[in-house]
Amino acid sequence: MSAVILAFLTLLSTPPPLLEADDTIARGATAMYTITLEEGLEYWLILTCEAGMDLDVLVASDEMDYDEFIQMPYFEDYIYARDFVIAEGATEGDEDFVITAPYTGTAYIIIHDIGETGGEYDLRLY
């Protein structure tokens, strides 16, 4: 089978992401996305960033107080969210991990520029 046909079939078999964000983060900043999970389902989170960037990502449960989180300064918000972690990726550079939903309801994807460089990133949740 030719490479072109194989690539086309791969694209057809991959469902569209549940969440897709091409965004920019300021140096040392934190970004947040809200998602809805369904208990028992597995979700695949992929975060890619520019070379030289180091972003950490975590998924926080609905037990996290959104209003309190949003009022905190950079980095303190990320540290606060860590108390409610369902899943996380803290490797240097890109992140790629599976989340098994422990409940049905809201969760928060928190991205922090731990490398303090800022720049563009691409987030996908399947």
Name the burial class of residue 97, with classes exposed (0-12), middle (13-18) and buried (19+) by CB atoms within 10 angstroms of its CB.
middle
Give the pLDDT confidence of 15-25 residue by residue, as tens digits. 899 999 999 99
Q: Look at residue 41 and tell me whether its pLDDT is greater than 90.
A: yes
**Running DSSP on this structure, what letter comes out for residue 13?**
H
> What is the distance, to the nearest Å, from the Cα of residue 24 to the centroid of all Cα atoms in its chain?
13
Give the pLDDT confidence of 55-98 residue by residue, as tens digits. 999 999 999 999 999 999 999 999 999 999 999 987 888 999 99
Residue 8 confidence class, pLDDT cut points 50, 70, 90: low
Lowest-pLDDT range of 12-16, 38-42, 108-112, 118-122: 12-16
Residue 5 confidence class, pLDDT cut points 50, 70, 90: low
Residue 1 confidence class, pLDDT cut points 50, 70, 90: low
Q: Please give the CATH topology (third level) of the domain spanning 18-125.
A: Jelly Rolls (2.60.120)
